[in-house]
A and B are shown apart, each in its own frame.
Chain A
Amino acid sequence: MSAACQPGPTRLSAPGPWLIKGVTVAGSGGQRDESTDILLSDGAIAAIGSGLSGVGAQVLDAQGLIALPGLVDLHTHLREPGREDAETVETGTRAAALGGYTAVHAMANTDPVADTAGVVEQVWRLGRAAGHCDVQPVGAVTIGLAGSRLAELGTMADSAARVRVFSDDGRCVADPLLMRRALEYVKAFDGVIAQHAQEPRLTEGAQLNEGEMSGRLGLAGWPAVAEEAIIARDCLLAAHVGSALHVCHVSTAGSAEIIRWAKSKGWPVTAEVTPHHLLLTDELAEGYDPVFKVNPPLRTAADVAELRLALADGTIDCVATDHAPHPVEAKETEWSEAAFGMTGLETALRVVQLAMVDTGMLDWHGVADRMSVRPARIGRLAGHGALLALGGPANLTLYDPAAPAEAVQPGASKSRNTPFAGMELPGRVVATFLRGTPTVLEGKLA
């Protein structure tokens, strides 16, 4: 897919050329791990090689930096329309750009719900107007996320927003017949159903992973089996009807095992894991600070270890943030009263470095694959997720993995509910380019 056919952000004029000097390109085959130059011009990669000179180009010295294809998030809550007090498309996409993202999938649980062509087109247009990264709306599977009647999936697919991913995220499509029909129906337009796997009866009032911590803290348990049972059912349904299932925010060792089994059968199943499930455990709930309250909940160290392995071996296809901003008052309260969710766009790559790269489980080529190539493919997102190569779209992220670990500070998101606040994470996103235009330079919005 050529970059030229992608609609550019409306407010930006055609970018001048940029010459990125001395960068290490992740995942570029033969040139991997060698420093090279990249010339960006007219929204595409115009040249790639050593000793390039670009007349009239702005030069960015990228010694020691890694160039990744622009990151793609399959799971972002931008909250607009309806909860602009928590986040807007403008603030959420700023956070995305600062995190190295060039495209995000905006989840459907807004108010009104993104269950009609009108709402998904509104979100899509807000994204184009903001211009910090591409915003690809996700459509709801059922009207109002109520789980009883299918939303007009085909109309959303045919709209200007070209919706391909459908999800009732936040709620599970629990009715097995409805899930089967949704999977079947979206085959007509190459859609995918992204399931929030949570058996509702097994998780009534659930607050925290069911285990030692929930028992000790007296918080109603969210058992692993409530996730795994739905994933197993949905894998079987996807196989039965031959349609694409994507499993959102896999959080347990058992879920990874079921997905590995489904993939071994050749079934059309993909999956994501969040940065927080790759790093944090339910023991953080000890002090009842709801900044650690999330759905699915933080699990155990054994789950974290298995999720890392599953991401490394490709069982889990990608990292998706589940960036879920909430206003202060939604978290400054009793645990059981507090909202579920954590922000994550601005810290995702640094967490992945800590959890996967610094542990030797994934190299930068792998990071490019799990955070750009595969999520773009699952989202059927044209113009993103291409490994950096001549003629490809100039969507890229320059990252400094050697930046000294720094404590996480409040960022561009309108909300501050990051579980990593004050935690020292390595690395730094130095620059992000969207179709040749810098959205971030020197670690700041361009």
Chain B
Amino acid sequence: MKRHLISAGDLTRADALLILDTAEELASLADRPIKKLPTLRGRTVVNLFFEDSTRTRISFEAAAKRLSADVINFSAKGSSVAKGESLKDTALTLEAMGADAVVIRHGASGAPHRLAGWVQGSVVNAGDGTHEHPTQALLDAFTIRRRLKRGSTRGAGLDGIRVTIVGDVLHSRVARSNVLLLSTLGAQVTLAGPPTLLPLAVENWPCAVSYDLDSELPKSDVVMMLRVQQERMTAAYFPSVREYSRRYGLDAARMGRLPDHAIVMHPGPMNRGVEIAADVADSARSTIVEQVANGVTTRMAVLYLLLGGTEFPAVAQ
């Protein structure tokens, strides 16, 4: 594995499986009365959040703390960043404080790449603009594997699993990371959405593309709904929220077209009634709450492997 986790595309199949298997190991901790491991004692993890994202931040914070790392939360609001400090100066400040890992959420695509050039520690991308969100993809892969692969999952990929990702792919960092990671793990990914919300050269991505959600559902083992932002409507990506919902929203009737074993995922936060109906979000097929729990264990695995997992020889570098 590389020193940083910036793109899901940086992970080989072996890297990805190592993370998932490690997460599986760590998940067993969650059932113990004492959830904490001493592994990262004395190491410092900085959560550098330039965008509000309480759920991702607390997920990383919980992950680091369960590994006994010291956690510093650096939020852009009310800090020097709000006074116009550059990303580089912020990076140098963190560097001077001795951050072993920096978890960065930023509104600009590529900000983690830039940060990695300015700090010595590991950089973990917690979502950059409309680019990637690799730990989301890892937790999604972990969730899919747990739900759909019976028996021992250790070492298992997602070979043959059909995943349909639905909605605003153009602006989605979750979609980009999932296409890369899930295809690396052997899944067959299909993107479904209105043509306006699919990137121009999407046909060159390692996935299929469809404008017709209904025809994809019966062929899907997993359907992953993306959050659609209402402001897209004013930029003419679609005529109205109602029409979007009618064509690409997952309601109970559409869910009925899925095979019996299929699961419904959403990275959150959801727009209930827009891309996903409340009945679907709260159904037994929904993995949405499970995804949150799996987020902590998957992020523990990432920090563990990047920062000091000596038990796993593959990450010696």
Contact = CB atoms under 8 A, between A and B. Distances in A.
Interface of A: 210-212, 214-221, 223, 287-289, 329, 332-337
B204 A212 contact: yes
A217, A332, A334: which has the most chain B beta carbons within 10 Å? A334
B109 A211 contact: no
A212 B110 contact: no
Interface stretch (B126-134, B150-158, B272-280): B126-134
B106 A334 contact: yes
Interface in B70-108: 86-88, 106, 108
B114 interface: yes
A182 B106 CA distance: 43
Given A215-B200, A334-B87, A287 B113 contact: yes
A233 to B, nearest CB: 22
Given A335-B108, A336-B129, A214 B113 contact: no
Given A212-B204, A333-B114, A217 B87 contact: no
Given A217-B131, A218-B128, A218-B176, A336 B108 contact: yes
Cβ-closest 5 pairs across A and B = A288-B110, A215-B199, A218-B131, A334-B108, A218-B130
A211 B202 CA distance: 9
Contacts of A211: 200-201
Contact of B111 (A216, A329, A334): A334
Given A219-B109, A219-B110, A214 B199 contact: yes
Interface of B: 86-88, 106, 108-111, 113-114, 128-132, 170, 173, 176, 199-202, 204-205
Nearest to B171: A218
Given A288-B114, A334-B110, A215 B132 contact: no
A28 B263 CA distance: 76
Nearest to B199: A215
Nearest to B112: A288
Nearest to B169: A215
A217 B88 contact: no
Contacts of B128: 218
27 contacts: A211-B201, A214-B200, A215-B200, A215-B201, A215-B202, A215-B205, A216-B199, A216-B205, A217-B109, A218-B130, A219-B109, A219-B110, A219-B129, A219-B130, A219-B131, A220-B130, A287-B113, A288-B109, A288-B111, A288-B114, A332-B88, A333-B88, A334-B106, A334-B108, A336-B109, A336-B110, A337-B108
B114 A334 contact: yes
A40 to B, nearest CB: 49
A281 to B, nearest CB: 14
B201 A218 contact: no
A249 B114 CA distance: 28
Contact of A218 (B86, B88, B129, B202): B129
